Structure 1
């Protein structure tokens, strides 16, 4: 579909179910007031849950030599200074 639908506030009140279905099928619905755009009707999108620090504790393993960088790699970054 993907149509732009403009309805006044009174029409929106009486056709809310139909307008909601149109939004779910991809149409953009704009509710007008006094002939000017007033509201956009949008589908609900779930927001991600709050972060919980430590939820991966015990699931990630870091090698014992993680922070030891070999000299050839350091030389590759720093070059001949």
Structure 2
């Protein structure tokens, strides 16, 4: 990806933006230090974020889920009664 100094970017901004829209993103640098990357808004930026709920309907959680194994756990803590 090409790097352009900030003065050149200010001078040729319209042309550079048009080039970025046409698939040629660039980096604007100040004093040789990269500052920003210019890319078109329609350009994909990495993998899509997976959202919670992607497996909705694939699993069944029993109604007594929060009580499963309760008797065994109580025996472990309190012993046999």
Per the shorter chain, which TM-score range?
0.3 to 0.5
Select the structure that is richer in helix: 2
Q: TM-score, normalising length from structure 2? A: 0.47
